[in-house]
Structures are given as C-alpha cells and as structure tokens.
C-alpha cells in the first residue's frame, strides 16, 4: 500500500499513447492526499524555484514498493503535472533538452537517504512513458538517474517493464514484449531482468 500524497493527471500524447486510468481501491487514502495538496505543491504566488521546494514535491513512500501500469493509473487520478521549470532546473543533465511533447510528474521519494535524496518521477514523451529515479546531493546537484519501469514504443513492439524497489534500495526490473499489431505478449522469449542497487553516495549501480 502507498503512504504518500498522490497527485497525477490524465493526459494523452496522440496516436498510440493514451494513458488510461483505472479505479483506485483506496478511496480514504485518496481523499486524505487531496486535502494535503497545498502542503506539497508551492503556490504560484511563491514562484520560488528552489531545490527545497522541488524536493518537497516528492512525499516519502514506504518500501518495498512496486511500479506498474496499475500504480500509474492509481496515482494519475490525484497527481498534478510537474512544471517544465522544475524539470529543466533539476531533472536534466546540462546537455539535455525538453521538447514540447514531454511531460513530467512528481511521484515520491525514498525514505532514510541521509546523505542524498532519491526521487521517483514519471516522464512521458513520443517514445514512451514511465518511471525514473533521480538522485541529488543535499545541495540539489543531480548525481545520477535511471529508467525503472513503463512502456517504450518501437515500430514492431511495445517494451513493457515493471520494477520493485526493496527496502535495501535494490531494484528488480522485469521487461516483457508485446506485438504492436496483435497486442499479444511475445512468449517466444523469456522476460528480461535488470537489477540496480542504490549506493550510500547516491549512485545507481547495475548489478
């Protein structure tokens, strides 16, 4: 069960990219999250693009936690989009750019990261959509980031992955393939597994 203030929004990116949203079976939690909305998102009047305000957009979640399409649908009913201003300041490397088709959403942060911050955010663009982890120093410098779960589009197939983040900061990613024409799961190949470990200095190492 999630224990963070969830806010997401419904959105579409055109043909082949429709983020639908199922019913959340945690009504009481959802209402509580909505009440806390003002506490999490700085008001427009503040207009303070600071790292403190940015990281406060990511309420702490309890681990272990799984990132799936169902997770996204649940959060999308109550989450709001993350302004491009926040993304440009804190989520991009110096050589990265944002196009007009990319959207971001703040999801949650990991608990008990004493020497750094680890934030999970949702990114959607023309090539897919999914969860990413970004780590930051206490002063707000981007340390590392990685794709964790979601859907990537190719001409012939969809690559769909889910991720479980364990309490020891290890991450298990399982990726399957779906035929883009028949919408059937490709059973001819075994699902691919990828493992990451978040280190004490905020690096995300593949293991």
pLDDT tens digits for 93-118? 989 988 888 999 999 999 999 999 99
Length of the chain: 207
Neighbours of 197 (CB within 10 A): 14
- Which residues are CB-contacts of 58 (< 8 A; sequence separation ≥ 6)? 106, 107, 108, 109, 117, 119, 120, 121
Q: Which of 147, 146, 122 is nearest to 203 (CA)?
A: 146
Whole-angstrom distance, CA of residue 149 vs CA of residue 167: 18
Helix, strand, coil in percent for the chain, rounding step 5: 15, 35, 45
pLDDT of residue 104: 93
Q: Comparing 203 with 14, which gets the higher pLDDT?
A: 203
pLDDT of residue 110: 97
pLDDT of residue 78: 64
Average pLDDT estimate for 125-142: 95
Q: Return the structure tokens found at 194.
A: 């990828």
- Which residues are CB-contacts of 28 (< 8 A; sequence separation ≥ 6)? none
Whole-angstrom distance, CA of residue 4 vs CA of residue 63: 11
Q: Return the structure tokens found at 101.
A: 């088709």
Q: How does DSSP classify residue 32?
A: H
Q: How does DSSP classify residue 42?
A: P
pLDDT tens by residue, 76-85? 776 678 888 8
Q: Return the structure tokens found at 173.
A: 């990613």
Q: Comparing 123 with 48, which gets the higher pLDDT?
A: 123
Q: Which of 164, 57, 171 is nearest to 104 (CA)?
A: 57
pLDDT tens by residue, 170-207? 999 999 998 877 888 888 788 999 999 999 999 999 99
Q: Return the structure tokens found at 52.
A: 């403190």
Give yes or no for residue 5 having a pLDDT over 60: no
3-state SS assignment for residue 50: coil
């Amino acid at each position: 069960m999630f224990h963070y203030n969830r806010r997401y929004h419904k959105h579409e990116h055109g043909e082949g990219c429709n983020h639908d949203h199922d019913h959340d079976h945690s009504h009481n939690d959802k209402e509580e999250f909505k009440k806390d909305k003002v506490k999490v998102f700085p008001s427009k009047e503040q207009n303070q693009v600071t790292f403190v305000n940015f990281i406060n957009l990511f309420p702490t979640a309890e681990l272990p936690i799984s990132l799936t399409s169902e997770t996204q649908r649940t959060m999308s009913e109550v989450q709001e989009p993350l302004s491009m201003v926040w993304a440009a300041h804190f989520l991009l490397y110096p050589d990265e750019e944002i196009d007009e088709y990319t959207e971001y959403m703040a999801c949650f942060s990991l608990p008990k990261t004493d020497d750094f911050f680890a934030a999970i955010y949702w990114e959607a663009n023309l090539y897919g959509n999914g969860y990413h982890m970004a780590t930051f120093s206490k002063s707000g410098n981007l340390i590392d980031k990685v794709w964790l779960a979601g859907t990537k589009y190719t001409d012939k197939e969809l690559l769909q992955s889910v991720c479980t983040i364990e309490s020891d900061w290890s991450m298990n990613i399982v990726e399957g393939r779906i035929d883009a024409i028949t919408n059937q799961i490709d059973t001819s190949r075994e699902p691919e597994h990828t493992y990451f470990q978040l280190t004490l200095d905020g690096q995300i190492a593949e293991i």
